[in-house]
Amino acid sequence: MERIPILKMGELLLVTIQVDMHDRLAMALQDDLTERIVKDRAKGVLIDISALDIVDSFIGRMISSTASMARILDARTVLVGMQPAVAITLVELGLKLEGVRTALNVERGIELLRRPG
């Protein structure tokens, strides 16, 4: 079964989503991620969606719930690299992803997570 790789960068975990999401892949990602947060004692999670041209309500919800799970395990989540067209579509859909922090790219995301607070 295909899986989305999770890379460890010091205290942070980097997840790059490059393929179309579906239920089972999303479940697998959430399983893997929560496990890795605990195992690696990660303090932050970066979810990179710069390769996605289309983000529908399903992926939007998946990202929100993943961020909530990480928060419970005391890791902050930053969503990075959203394309302008995706941002406009999500806003038109009424999905504002409240509670998820965002950054322009991975570099900015790391800066944000290293900052205290």
How many CB atoms are closer than 10 A to CB 83? 15
Dihedral sign, CA of 55, 58, 61, 65? negative
CB of 107 vs other proteins, minimal distance in Å: 9
Nearest approach, Cβ of residue 39 and other proteins (Å): 28
Output 36 or 110, the one with its CB closest to other proteins: 110
Angstrom distances, CA of residue 15 to CA of 52, 66, 85, 89, 96: 13, 11, 21, 22, 21
Please give the residue ranges that form the binding site for other proteins (CB under 8 A).
Answer: 79-80, 82, 84, 86-88, 90-92, 96-97, 102-105, 108-109
Min separation Cβ 46 and other proteins, Å: 11
27 versus 91: smaller Cβ distance to other proteins: 91
Q: By three-state DSSP, how is residue 117 classified?
A: coil
